[in-house]
Each structure stands twice: as C-alpha cells, then as structure tokens.
Amino acid sequence: MDLLTTLVDKGLRRELPTREEALAVLATSDDDLLDVVAAAGKVRRHWFGRRVKLNYLVNLKSGLCPEDCSYCSQRLGSTTGILKYTWLKPDEASRAAAAGLAGGAKRVCLVASGRGPTDRDVDRVSDTIRAIKDQNEGVEVCACLGLLSDGQAERLRQAGADAYNHNLNTSEATYGDITTTHTYADRVDTVHKAHAAGLSACSGLIAGMGESDEDLVDVVFSLRELDPDSVPVNFLIPVEGTPLAKEWNLTPQRCLRILAMVRFVCPDVEVRIAGGREVHLRTMQPLALHLANSIFLGDYLTTEGQAGKADLEMIADAGFEVEGTGQVTLPEHRAPDGGGCGSHASDGGCGSPGVCDSAPAAPVGQARTDLVAVRRRGAGTDLAPNA
C-alpha cells in the first residue's frame, strides 16, 4: 500500500503525517490489518528496537473523587463498588511499588484520585517518592495527581519525580461530553506545567468512549503538538456503575489500528498500552507489542489486569525483551541528558494539521463483562498485589 510506505518513510524521519493519512489508517480493512501492523512495527523497531518497558501502578488514594469524568469508576457518585481508601503512608506505597519492581517494572506510577493535590498532598507524595528512590536504585517515578497549581510540579521534581502524567483523554471538541467539572484547557495547562518544571511529560488518550475517527486523530495530533515523552493509550474499561458502562465500541482489530495510528503520528515517543488491553485486545495482545514499546504490569487502579507472570511470558514468546533499568528508553535526540526516561526535548517539530475527511464509524465490539473485575488486592488491602 502506498499509504503505508509513505507513513513508514515519514515515521523514520519524525515527519508528521497528514490528517488524511492518519484517518486512512483507522479506515483500513481487516484484510490489510497485518500490513498496517508490519508497517508501524518498522517505525517502532527503528526507534525502540524490541525492548518493552514495564510500568507499575500504585493507587495512593482510591475513590472519593469530586470530579464527574464519565469513564472513571472513582468519579463523584460512583456506584461501582471499588476499593475506597485515603492516602497510603510512604512506607505502604513503597512496599506496593517494590512488588512491581521485583516483577521487572522500570517505572512506578503514583496515582491519586481527586481534582488536584493540595500543598500538603504534594508533601505526602514527595515523601513517598523519596522513600521509593531510597530503596530502589535506578527506578523511575511518575506522579499522576490531577491538575497542578503553580509551583507544585517544581516541588515534585525536587523530591525526585522523573515524570508527570496527565492525559488529554479525548478531543477538545468532545471533552465537555465526558467531563463537566474541569476543562480540556485545564489539562493542557497541567502538561505545560510539567514540561516547564523539567519533568518528563506523559499524556495520552482513552479510546472506546463513542468517539469518531476524527476525534481520535484530533487528540493524537494535539498530543503530538504538546510533545510528551510518553503517550499512554487506554481502551475504555466499561465498569458497571459508570455512565459509559454500555460503551462496548472496540474490537481487537480496531485497537490495533488505533495503536498503529498513534505510532505513525508519534513515532519516537514511548507509546504505552495502558488500561483495557486485556478486555479489548485479548488474545491479540502480542501483536500490539509490535506497535507499542511500553505496557503496565499487572493490575490497574481499580480493576484487575492480566497476571504479571503472563505479561512476562507474552513478551518473551512474542520475541521481545524487557527493558532494563540501565537502558535509556527514549532515542538520544529526546533524552539529551542521557536520563533513563528523558526530559522534555525543546526542538518541537510538531508540524501543522491539515484538513480532515470523514471516516467510517467504529465497529461495535461484543460486550465482555466477564473480563472486567474490580481490584480487590494490592494497594489499600492486606492481600498481595498482582505483579
């Protein structure tokens, strides 16, 4: 396909595809799917080889969130029956992180529900970051605490944080349809604050919320413009008790096309398969490793993931290798200081989006509620985590 040849050439040069090309990837047929995966795989291997970075989530504070994000089981008024607890102490969080690190994780992601941290919350998380860093040489720590106020990103950086995550989730045009208690611009502002503080910015999306192909391309182009070092791609987990519980809009093939499009638009960044891969990719997860160079190990914030042992076996069986703590994740031009995760590169190079054409609506996948299980182990419980 001429389209795929063009996209590979552009990906190897870090050149932005046109919107029409990105939309065309999402519109490819199932007959062409393996060709699409193979093409995007060339770009992935050029920048990241066959390495897979493992990340591990620690939910520092679960539930009790005042925000109304429709996709989230921790939202205001949630009836999902998830674990609810207030802040873990630094030693508790450090023990939880140690389980993931023992399983091969290179980065620990410290997440807390809520609109954003108070200054006291930043102090708590700073103590946790220091505890984890003191006990685990070479570990990367990413904080995900919601919207940041002035000066908070700098304080997290001083405490030893390497990165900050704050996802855009969906296109600016449709953001108000999923959340009303804060704005898309609020999220963009927090990513800018992370950049300005010298943190490695992590920002991604959620697919499967009923969005159009145009919405997906919009948010990925916006992410390219923000220039984060890592882009997590979440596939909506339709948890019963949330407004989007009936949104089963994804198939494994659709997920692979989305990941391929993200790789073509963001060729040299860490593309991470995040929440929902077990639910929507299912037995086709190994193919996704040809597109993404990073995954979460084990469970998620409020739902269970695939067993950590199965993750490691999948990586090995697919012919990939787990990235070690001594290996630099990002290409040299994105990590000028040689750091493990790379700080924000200032060269930009984001290009300008063109005019979009229409594309077919997403195919509807079969509901698999049997694959959605609320997390009952790990952080906030007395049970061993899945790592």
Pairing between β-strand 205-207 and β-strand 270-273 as defined by DSSP bridges: unpaired
Q: Are strands 51-61 and 294-296 parallel, antiparallel or unpaired?
A: parallel
> Which residue carries 């990073």 as its tokens?
294
Question: How many structural domains comprise the chain?
Answer: 1
pLDDT reported for residue 379: 76
Strand partners, 375: none
- The pLDDT, as a whole number, for residue 218 is 98
Active site annotation includes 202? yes
Q: Is the pLDDT of residue 361 over 90?
A: no
312 within a domain of the structure (yes/no): yes
Write out pLDDT tens, residues 169-228: 999 999 999 999 999 999 999 999 999 999 999 999 999 999 999 999 999 999 999 999
In a domain, 253, yes or no: yes
CATH number of the domain encompassing residue 125:
3.20.20.70
pLDDT at 359 over 60: no
Does 14 participate in catalysis according to the annotation?
no
Rounded distance between C-alpha atoms, residue 155 and residue 177, angstroms: 33
Neighbours of 149 (CB within 10 A): 13
Given a cut of 60, whether residue 383 has pLDDT beyond it is: yes
The yes-or-no verdict on residue 355 having pLDDT over 60 is no
Section 273-289 average pLDDT: 95
Percentage of the chain beyond pLDDT 90 is 72
Which is the catalytic residue, given 109, 255, 266, 341?
109
Structural domain includes residue 377? no
Residue span of the structural domain in which 306 resides: 23-324
Residue 53 lies in a domain: yes
Question: Quick check: is 69 catalytic?
Answer: yes
**Predicted local confidence at residue 73, as pLDDT:** 82
Neighbours of 240 (CB within 10 A): 13
Closest listed residue to residue 386, CA positions, set 300, 299, 314: 299
pLDDT digits (tens, 9 = 90+) for 241-274: 888 999 999 999 999 999 999 999 999 999 999 9
Over the chain, what is the mean pLDDT? 89
Residue 106 in any domain: the answer is yes
Q: What is the pLDDT of residues 73-127, one digit of tens each?
A: 888 777 777 778 889 999 999 999 998 999 999 999 999 988 999 999 999 999 9
Point out the catalytic residue in the list 202, 255, 266, 341.
Answer: 202
Residue 19: alpha-carbon gap to chain centroid? 22
For the cut 70, the answer to whether the pLDDT of residue 315 exceeds it is yes
Q: How far is CA 131 from CA 149, 159, 160, 247, in A?
A: 24, 10, 10, 40
Burial class (CB in 10 A: 0-12, 13-18, 19+), 326: exposed
Whether residue 362 is predicted with pLDDT greater than 80 in this model: the reply is: no
Q: What integer pLDDT is reported at residue 343 of this predicted model? A: 41
Q: Could you tell me if residue 7 is inside a domain?
A: no
* Rounded Cα gap, residues 246 and 236, in angstroms: 11
Residue 350 annotated as catalytic: no
* pLDDT of 364: 55
Task: Indicate which residue of 44, 51, 69, 144 is catalytic.
Answer: 69
Whether 266 is a known active-site residue: answer no
The residues near 271 (Cβ < 8 Å, ≥ 6 apart) are 44, 230, 231, 233, 259, 262, 263, 291, 292, 293, 294
Annotated catalytic residue, options 272, 277, 334, 375: 272
Decide if pLDDT at 34 tops 70. yes
Domain assignment present for 348: no
344 is a domain residue: no
Contacts of 148 (CB under 8 A, 6+ apart): 116, 117, 164, 166, 190, 193, 194
